[in-house]
Amino acid sequence: MSRLAVPNLETDTGPSGQIYAQIKKAIGSVPNTYAAIAAHGPAALKSVLAADAVLAGGSLPKRDQEIIKLVISDAGGCDYCVAAHSHLAKLAGVDSDVLRQIREGEQTGDARRDALVRFVRKLAQSSGTVSDADFAAIRAAGYSDAQLVEISLAFATTVFTNVFNRINDTDIDFPAVA
């Protein structure tokens, strides 16, 4: 059970309730992580949603965004986000077998996607400046300067939700991942 209390989403008329209404209108329901973040930090959730809007308007395809978020969530040990981004990646057109390969650290057979996965996993599992070889590899895979900024933004927002969900032990409301 999630550790932080969430008010009734239907009757909350404060700042959180306004955010809940916007999310519900946009996607039909309010994921548990968004409900909990908004209940205790509506401005924090607004910043995450604003970052996602920036990503949606960028040049990085949705499937790549979800792959980035999945790799980071897997590396960070956030079960909630692994389930969420596996589901969202599927909706963005990523095959279930490919998602399993990504989670298990296997090659997927798509050179560009595999370069992205390697790059993001290395970022998640190391510190310090990216090596020249790693930078050259992601550029050789065809990622532009603007997309490197978008990769960084997707990474940053995902680390926030991963950490929050690990603190909150957020109840998973996405399909389970085997």
Q: Please report the pLDDT score of residue 10 as a whole number.
A: 85
Query: For residue 57, with 0-12 CB atoms within 10 Å meaning exposed, 13-18 middle and 19 or more buried, which class applies?
Result: exposed
Question: Band of the pLDDT at 60, cuts 50, 70, 90?
Answer: very high
Residues in the chain: 178
92: its two tokens: 């963005």
**Does one domain contain both 157 and 77?**
yes
**Does one domain contain both 71 and 127?**
yes
Q: Please report the pLDDT score of residue 11 as a whole number.
A: 87
pLDDT at 50 > cutoff 90: yes
**Does one domain contain both 25 and 67?**
no
Q: Can you state the angle between helices 62-76 and 79-91, rounded to 10 degrees?
A: 160
Residue span of the structural domain in which 40 resides: 15-56
Contact predicate 36/171, CB 8 Å? no
Question: Band of the pLDDT at 31, cuts 50, 70, 90?
Answer: very high
DSSP class of residue 62? H
- Non-local (6+) Cβ contacts of 124 within 8 A are 71, 72, 75, 76, 155
Residue 35 lies in a domain: yes
Q: Which residue has the tokens 């590899």?
A: 137
Task: Give percent of the chain with pLDDT exceeding 70.
Answer: 100
- CB atoms under 10 Å from CB of 64, counted, come to 24
How far is it, in rounded angstroms, from Cα 128 to Cα 136? 16
How far is it, in rounded angstroms, from Cα 36 to Cα 54? 22
How far is it, in rounded angstroms, from Cα 163 to Cα 165? 5
**Does one domain contain both 152 and 100?**
yes
Q: How many domains does the chain have?
A: 2
Render pLDDT for 61-102 as a digit per residue (tens, 0 to 9). 999 999 999 999 999 999 999 999 999 999 999 999 999 999
Render pLDDT for 124-149 as a digit per residue (tens, 0 to 9). 999 999 999 999 999 999 999 999 99
**Does one domain contain both 23 and 87?**
no
- CB atoms under 10 Å from CB of 115, counted, come to 18
